A and B are shown apart, each in its own frame.
Chain A
Amino acid sequence: MKLSNDELNILAILEENHRISTETIAMQLNMTEENVHRTIKKLEEDKIIVSYPTLIDWNQIEGKETVVAMIDVKVTPQHGVGFDEIAERIYRYPEVNSVYLMSGTYDLSVTLEGKTLQEVSKFVSNKLSTIDNVISTTTHFILKKYKHDGVVIEGNDDDDKRMVVTP
C-alpha cells in the first residue's frame, strides 16, 4: 500500500506519542483537524495503525512484578496442520505476549509473561510442550529489560543537558 505524505507524517507523530491531540497534529502538518481525524480513522480501518499500546514498567509496582520468558519452540508441521495453526493454538493463551515464526534452528519464538518463575515453567510444561506437533522447547528467562520496542527503559539520553539560553 502506498501512503500520502500527510499519512506518513501522521504516523511519524503517533508513533512517538499517540496521546497528542488532533488539534496539535493538525497544526504541525498544516492540515485541518477534520482532515487529521479522517486520515487517522482510515489508517485504523486499513489496519496500518494496529493498536495504541502503552508501555508500562510493572516491575516498579509492588505486587505487580512479572517474569517474562522467551521460548524457542520446535514444531513438526503435519498434513493439514501448518505453522499457522500451531501458532494460533499458542497465541490464544492470554499469558502469551507474542508469537513469531522464525528462520533458523527453531520455528516459533514465544514470549510469555507470568507472576512467578514457577507459573511460567508450569505453563511451558503443562500447556506448551503438550501441544501435538511441538517437539521441543527452550526457555530463556529475561533478567533485565534495557530497551523495549524502541524505548530505552533506563538511561539519561532524555535529560536536557543544554543551558537555558544560548546564541
Chain B
Amino acid sequence: MSMDYEQYLSKTAIDLKPSGIRRFFDLAASMEGVVSLGVGEPDFITPWNIRDEAINALQDGYTSYTANAGLIELRQEISNYVQRRFDVHYDPENQIIVTVGASQSLDLAFRAIVNPGDEVLIVEPAFVSYASLVLLAGGVPVPISTYSDNGFKVTPEQIEAAITDKTKAVLICTPNNPTGTCLNKEELTQIANVIQKHDLICLTDEIYAELTYDDDGFTSMASIPGMYERTILINGFSKGFAMTGWRLGFVAAPKEMVDLMVKIYQYTTMCAPHMLQRAAIEALQNSTDQVEHMRESYWRRRNYIVQALNNIGLSCHIPGGAFYVFPSIKQTGLSSEEFASELLQQEKVAVVPGNAFGESGEGYIRCSYATSIEQLQEAMKRMGRFIDSLK
C-alpha cells in the first residue's frame, strides 16, 4: 500500500524553506577540479594541542555523560575566557551551557523565549538557520534587510520600524555571515537603546568574534550598558579555534534563562560529548597564539580578495570580520543564482548565491576566503575570465 506521507508529517517542517546552500552543494560536489569559495569553515585543522587532549581524554576513559550544562571545569574556563575577551562576567555554576555547536545554542535560545506568534527580528543577509529555528520554535521570523551602501549595517531606525506589539527579540550577528560586517561599540549602543526602549531580548551570535580585523577590535553586545540582563550570548569553538567538526559551542545568559535552557537541553540532548569537552578546556587555556596566527592569516587573505574582486570589476565593501566577502554582481545583469551556477559550469568556481541568506542578498554572492592564497589566486583568475566573457 502506498502511503500519502504528507498527511503524517509535520506541516511546520514541510513548510521550512529548503536550504539554498544544499542545492548548490549537490551541483558542485558532482564536479571535478572545482576551486571552492563556498566553504563556511576554517581551512585550518584544529591545533594539535587540542587534538592531543582529545586523544588523551579518550585514552583516560572520559566516555561518560557529564552534567547537562557541561563540565564545570570547562564552564569555568568559558567564564574566564568571556571575561578576558569580552569583559562580561557569567557565573559558571548557573549562567553557561556547553552545547553541541552554536547551532544548538541558537535552538535552545529560541525555544526558551518564543511563545506562539512571537516575532523575532532577524537582520539579513543572515546565517541560514535563524528563520527556520524561529519557525520550529513556533515564532515568526521578521527579516530586516540591510544593503551594501552602508556596509550592510542595520540602523536603529530600521529596527524601530520593524517592531510591533508581538516583537519578542532581536537577533544580531557580528561579525556577520555572509557579509563579514562588524558592528562597533557605538553602533551596538544605538541598537541597544532601541532594544531597551521596547523592552526586548537580544540574541547575539558572536561565533566569529575571534576573527575581526579592525583596530577597534571586537565589542560584545552583552558588554553594552543595560544589555546584560536582556542578552543571550552565543559563541563557540567552531570558527576561531578551527573546530567545526567537533560540534562544541556555548550559550551564556541570565540565570533564569539558562535554567530554562538547561531544562530543554536535558530532555533533548543531555550533554555535549565528554572527551571533546575535556579538549575544549585545553583550547581555552593554551591556544591564544594559534588563534592569533590564524586570525592574521585570514586578515591577509581578506585584504587580497577584496582588492582582487574590485580589480576584476566586482565591487565589494571591506568586511571587518569573519572570512567572507559579499561582492555585488548586479552589473552583470544576472541573478545571484544564475551567476553562481554559470560560474560553476563555465569556470568551476563555487560561490554561494547571496539570496540563500535572505531576499536582500539577491544581487550578491558570498565568497569565503578560508582557502589557500594559491586557490584564491586561481579563483580570481577564473572569475575575471568569467566576468570578461559576459561583456
Residues of A in contact with B (beta carbons under 8 Å apart): 9, 12-13, 17, 20, 24, 27-30, 157, 160, 162-167
Tell me how far the C-beta of A163 lies from the nearest C-beta in chain B, rounded to whole angstroms: 7
Q: Are B25 and A164 in contact (CB under 8 A)?
A: yes
User: Per a CB cutoff under 8 Å, which of B19, B29, B43, B127 touches A164?
Assistant: B29
Tell me the complex Cα distance, A144–B39, Å.
36
Tell me how far the C-beta of A91 lies from the nearest C-beta in chain B, rounded to whole angstroms: 33
Tell me how far the C-beta of A20 lies from the nearest C-beta in chain B, rounded to whole angstroms: 7
Q: Are A165 and B300 in contact (CB under 8 A)?
A: no
Q: Are A164 and B36 in contact (CB under 8 A)?
A: yes
Give the residues in chain A near B303, CB-CB below 8 Å: 27-30
Q: Are A163 and B25 in contact (CB under 8 A)?
A: yes
Give the residues in chain B near A162, CB-CB below 8 Å: 39, 41, 43
Q: Are A166 and B296 in contact (CB under 8 A)?
A: no
By beta carbon, the residue of chain A nearest B357 is A167
B21 an interface residue at 8 Å Cβ cutoff? yes
Q: Are A167 and B40 in contact (CB under 8 A)?
A: yes
Q: Are B296 and A12 in contact (CB under 8 A)?
A: yes
Q: Are B300 and A166 in contact (CB under 8 A)?
A: no
Give the residues in chain B near A29, CB-CB below 8 Å: 300, 303
Tell me the complex Cα distance, A163–B244, Å.
12
Tell me the complex Cα distance, A12–B40, Å.
25
Q: Are B300 and A28 in contact (CB under 8 A)?
A: yes
Residues of B in contact with A (beta carbons under 8 Å apart): 19, 21, 24-25, 28-29, 34, 36, 38-41, 43, 45, 127-129, 177, 296, 300-301, 303-304, 307-308, 350, 352, 371, 373, 377
Residue among B24, B25, B373 with the most chain A CB within 10 A? B373
Tell me how far the C-beta of A7 lies from the nearest C-beta in chain B, rounded to whole angstroms: 14
Give the residues in chain B near A27, CB-CB below 8 Å: 303-304, 307-308
By beta carbon, the residue of chain B nearest A20 is B373
Q: Are B40 and A166 in contact (CB under 8 A)?
A: yes
User: Per a CB cutoff under 8 Å, which of A12, A30, A160, A165 touches B24?
Assistant: A165
Tell me the complex Cα distance, A160–B304, Å.
21
Give the residues in chain A near B301, CB-CB below 8 Å: 28
Residue among A13, A30, A164, A166 with the most chain B CB within 10 A? A164
Q: Are A164 and B28 in contact (CB under 8 A)?
A: yes
Give the residues in chain B near A163, CB-CB below 8 Å: 25, 29, 39
Tell me the complex Cα distance, A160–B370, Å.
11
Give the residues in chain B near A17, CB-CB below 8 Å: 373
Give the residues in chain A near B300, CB-CB below 8 Å: 9, 13, 28-29
Give the residues in chain A near B307, CB-CB below 8 Å: 27, 30
With A165-B29, A166-B25, A167-B19 given, name 7 new contacts (CB 8 A): A163-B29, A164-B36, A165-B21, A165-B350, A166-B41, A167-B128, A167-B177
Q: Given A9-B300, A30-B303 in contact, is the A165-B43 Cβ separation under 8 Å?
A: no
Give the residues in chain A near B41, CB-CB below 8 Å: 162, 166
Q: Are A165 and B373 in contact (CB under 8 A)?
A: no
Q: Given A157-B45, A165-B28, A167-B21 in contact, is the A28-B304 Cβ separation under 8 Å?
A: yes
Give the residues in chain A near B43, CB-CB below 8 Å: 160, 162
Residue among A24, A28, A29 with the most chain B CB within 10 A? A28
Tell me the complex Cα distance, A29–B352, Å.
26
Tell me how far the C-beta of B184 lies from the nearest C-beta in chain A, rounded to whole angstroms: 20
By beta carbon, the residue of chain A nearest B318 is A30
Give the residues in chain A near B129, CB-CB below 8 Å: 167
Tell me how far the C-beta of B33 lies from the nearest C-beta in chain A, rounded to whole angstroms: 11
Give the residues in chain B near A164, CB-CB below 8 Å: 25, 28-29, 34, 36, 38-39, 350
Q: Are B25 and A28 in contact (CB under 8 A)?
A: no
Q: Are B25 and A165 in contact (CB under 8 A)?
A: yes
Give the residues in chain B near A30, CB-CB below 8 Å: 303, 307
Give the residues in chain B near A12, CB-CB below 8 Å: 296
Give the residues in chain B near A166, CB-CB below 8 Å: 21, 25, 38-41
Tell me the complex Cα distance, A164–B177, Å.
17
Tell me how far the C-beta of A30 lies from the nearest C-beta in chain B, rounded to whole angstroms: 5
Tell me the complex Cα distance, A13–B301, Å.
11
Tell me the complex Cα distance, A28–B300, Å.
5
Tell me how far the C-beta of B294 lies from the nearest C-beta in chain A, rounded to whole angstroms: 12
